[in-house]
Amino acid sequence: MKINNNSEPIIAVRKLTKKFGGLTAVDNVDSDIFPKEITAIVGSNAAGKSTLIKMISGVYIPTSGDIYFKGKPLPFGDPLVVRNLGIETVYQDLSLAELLNVPDNIFLGREKYNKVLGLRILDRKYMHKESKKFLGDLKIRIPFLNRPIRFLSGGQRQAVSVSRAIYWNAEVIIMDEPTAALGIQEKRKVKDLILELKSKGATVIIISHEIHDVFEISDKIIVLYQGKHVGTETTSETNIDEIAKLIISGTTGKVGGKNLNE
């Protein structure tokens, strides 16, 4: 089913393929991500979700095909360049420094310094103030910012990782299994954070096995099956049964239905 959208895609994937030896992980995929929407990418294990995301984020170089960001070709194989363009990826391990506190993690690699007697000294007061203000703007409540990350809950860690991405002006946030292994209350906080990001104009892409979470927060759902793009559905116009059938078999099973790629 072709979904009409009046805006131009912020990310356009065209005939994208990635092979690892004799294995085709992503097979000739065409897909669009539109700005200021929450798009979920779903599929069973080995469907190609993570491989697709890693090509967009610059980790993998495609075997063939192209990716466009705001109408321009996206460089391949350089995650730092992709990040600097405005695409941030929050992986499941969150890539946080466990022994550092919240401001240190938000400013990690981009620390603020003052010069004192010719020496570069970390401006911890500035980083703390900026972190507190920014977390407040995103409605994230972490009582003790100077506490090492390892003492925070799973939801708080996810929030810090996302906040770091947003603080550095990311336009697109890719989140790998953002609600996995979280309790009910923590999941709620993370889902509220994702909705808050959308309200502030960010484009969010989530990879998730949590189908109920996908239906609760996403605007569109992209389904991959054995490396192929088998469907893109507007969330409000589909249901869990249809998406589940696409995930399991690559088709909705509708009598007389058309191929969703057509």
In the chain, the DSSP E strands lie at 11-20, 23-33, 38-42, 64-69, 72-73, 87-90, 113-116, 119-122, 172-176, 203-207, 220-225, 228-234
Quickly state the pLDDT bin for 137 (edges 50, 70, 90): confident
**Residue among 205, 171, 177 nearest 31 (CA):** 205
The position carrying tokens 């405005």 is 86
Domain finish residue from 170, 192, 214: 170
Residue 262 banded pLDDT, cuts 50, 70, 90: very low
Question: Region 182-186: what's the mean pLDDT?
Answer: 82
- For residue 4, what is the domain's CATH number? 3.40.50.300
The top-scoring range by mean pLDDT among 72-81, 125-134, 162-171, 224-233 is 224-233
Q: Which two tokens stand for residue 64?
A: 């063939």
Q: Which residues pair with 13 in a beta bridge?
A: 31, 67
**SS3 of 32, please?**
strand
**Does one domain contain both 30 and 102?**
no
Domain boundary among 145, 170, 195: 170
Q: How confident is the model at residue 258 (pLDDT cuts 50, 70, 90)?
A: very low
Mean pLDDT across 6-34: 95
Q: Which residues contact 165 (CB under 8 A, 6 or more apart)?
A: 88, 90, 173
Q: What was the pLDDT predicted at 5?
A: 53
Give the whole-number percent of the chain exceeding pLDDT 70. Answer: 94
pLDDT of 48-93, one tens digit each? 999 999 999 999 999 999 999 999 999 998 998 998 899 999 887 7
CA 213 from chain centre, in angstroms, equals: 14
Cα angle, residue 70 at apex, residues 26 and 235 outer, rounded to 5°:
60
Secondary structure class of 227 (helix, strand, coil): coil
- Is pTM beyond 0.75? Reply is yes
Does residue 165 sit in the same domain as residue 201? no
Q: What is the pLDDT of residues 143-182, one digit of tens each?
A: 889 999 999 988 888 888 888 877 877 899 999 988 887 7
- State mean pLDDT over 94-103: 89
Domain identity same for 82 and 198? yes
Show the tokens assigned to 137.
């703007």
Domain interval for residue 25: 1-86+171-262
The percent of residues above 90 in pLDDT, for the chain, comes to: 64
Q: Verify that 77 and 7 share a domain, yes or no.
A: yes
Q: Which residues contact 43 (CB under 8 A, 6 or more apart)?
A: 49, 223, 224, 225, 247
User: CA 204 to CA 93: how far, in whole Å?
Assistant: 18
Contact between 173 and 184 under an 8 Å Cβ cutoff? The reply is no
C-alpha count within 13 angstroms, C-beta hemisphere, residue 146: 4
**165 and 208 assigned to the same domain:** no
Whether 125 and 31 share a structural domain: no
